[in-house]
Copies of this chain bind each other. A is one copy, B any other.
Amino acid sequence: MIITLRPHTNTKDKEELKARLLSLGVVIHESTGENYTILGLVGDTTGIDARSFEALPYVDHVTRIGAPYKLVNRLFHPQDTIVDVAGVKVGASEPMVIMAGPCAVEDREQLEEIAQGVKQAGARILRGGAYKPRTSPYSFQGLGEEALDLLVQAKQITGLPVVSELMDENQLELFEEKVDLIQIGARNMQNYALLKALGQTKKPVLLKRGFANTIEEWLMAAEYLASYGNPNIILCERGIRTFESATRNTLDLAVIPIIKKRSHLPIIIDPSHATGDWELVESAALAATAAGADGLIIEVHNHPEKAKSDGAQSLKIDNFTLLMEKCKAIAPVVGRRL
């Protein structure tokens, strides 16, 4: 951590600050330049709140050198984490894992047709929403527990583990029982009550990036899970909010090499929410594969035009099948297979 003092800071203020810093257990390296004096702090600064020093009128700004996360930091854990989702392994040294299924579970027939279809095309985990975060209170909010039961049945039939989004910590027990991979949605990435609750289980978590959160904030959300005890975390990029409105979000594929450098956690891509338009999903999914993703999560529907939510971004089963063929061809170029 580097603290830059404003020009003309008096000695008394500087010495008081240094005494306070020393009491936090760090070593101080001081450099005096033409205009600014800088204090370099050496030692473990993870627990130090950089902003508290910015309250001092003679501090110009504070710059963090090391990352504020430890448990999810590759620097301290060089080996790739492999997350085991009911037997399906997700992570860098494993084959890519495709998760697919409807935005929302609507009924048994719908779910089973889609589950069989995506399995046949190569998907290895079934997705399906039970509780849906909808912008409007007047939109379909999901079938709830009934949907979870339908997912359990679909799993029995197809053998595919299931992933579904948890929105309410009071349903955690239910999800622990019925779901193999619990999704934290983009809107809840900084819902710390939920993160803390989930951190106290060992259930694998699919942690979506908030649509306006930085990579550092995302890794800090993962650090919440890890520091509360749950190391089974898969990160998922699903697009960020920008000024461009031609797509629902802007897919930020640079997160793949960046996450791989900074963290040991697996990273998968959601091209459906990123683009919001089924006609753009294939291009984005292939790009994610070429960019080195550990997996994909894709919305697939048997009748998108009748879907109760997000039909506009759902692939039909046959288009999904064609996409899988192309992914299988691209993956080996970047040292992976499906």
The reply to whether the CB of A174 lies closer than 8 angstroms to some CB of chain B is no
Closest chain B CB from A154 CB (angstroms): 22
Q: Verify A312–B228 contact, CB threshold 8 A.
A: no
B residues in contact with A140, CB < 8 Å: 49
Contact with B along A195-215 (1 / 0, CB 8 A): 000000000000000111011
Taking CB atoms and an 8 Å cut-off, the chain A residues in 302-338 that contact chain B are 304-314, 326, 329-330, 333-334
The reply to whether the CB of A108 lies closer than 8 angstroms to some CB of chain B is no
B residues in contact with A109, CB < 8 Å: none
Which of B240, B246, B261, B333 is close to A244, meaning CB atoms less than 8 Å apart? B240
Q: How far is the CA of A223 from the CA of B136 in the complex (A)?
A: 8
The reply to whether the CB of A110 lies closer than 8 angstroms to some CB of chain B is no
Contacts A63-B63, A254-B280 given; does A42 touch B32 at CB 8 Å:
yes
B residues in contact with A309, CB < 8 Å: 49, 52
Q: How far is the CA of A52 from the CA of B246 in the complex (A)?
A: 17
Nearest-neighbor residue (CB-CB) of A2 within chain B: B2
The reply to whether the CB of A291 lies closer than 8 angstroms to some CB of chain B is yes
Q: Verify A65–B251 contact, CB threshold 8 A.
A: no
The reply to whether the CB of A147 lies closer than 8 angstroms to some CB of chain B is no
Tell me how many chains of this kind the complex includes.
4
The reply to whether the CB of A145 lies closer than 8 angstroms to some CB of chain B is no
Closest chain B CB from A67 CB (angstroms): 10
Contacts A47-B138, A227-B137 given; does A55 touch B243 at CB 8 Å:
no
Chain A residue total in the interface (Cβ 8 A): 108
Most-contacted residue by chain B among A227, A251, A291, A308 (CB, 10 A): A291
B residues in contact with A49, CB < 8 Å: 139-140, 308-309
Contact with B along A174-189 (1 / 0, CB 8 A): 0000000000000110
Nearest-neighbor residue (CB-CB) of A227 within chain B: B137
Q: Verify A243–B246 contact, CB threshold 8 A.
A: no
Contacts A137-B228, A290-B290, A312-B55 given; does A254 touch B258 at CB 8 Å:
no
Q: Verify B251–A246 contact, CB threshold 8 A.
A: no
In the complex, 9 of the A-B residue pairs with CB atoms within 8 angstroms, ordered by the A residue number, are: A7-B75, A29-B29, A29-B40, A52-B309, A56-B305, A68-B138, A135-B190, A253-B287, A290-B330
Q: A33-B66, A53-B312 are in contact. List 19 more A-B contacts (CB 8 A).
A: A2-B40, A2-B63, A4-B65, A54-B312, A167-B193, A169-B193, A187-B190, A212-B212, A247-B252, A247-B254, A247-B258, A251-B252, A251-B254, A253-B253, A254-B283, A257-B280, A286-B333, A290-B290, A330-B330
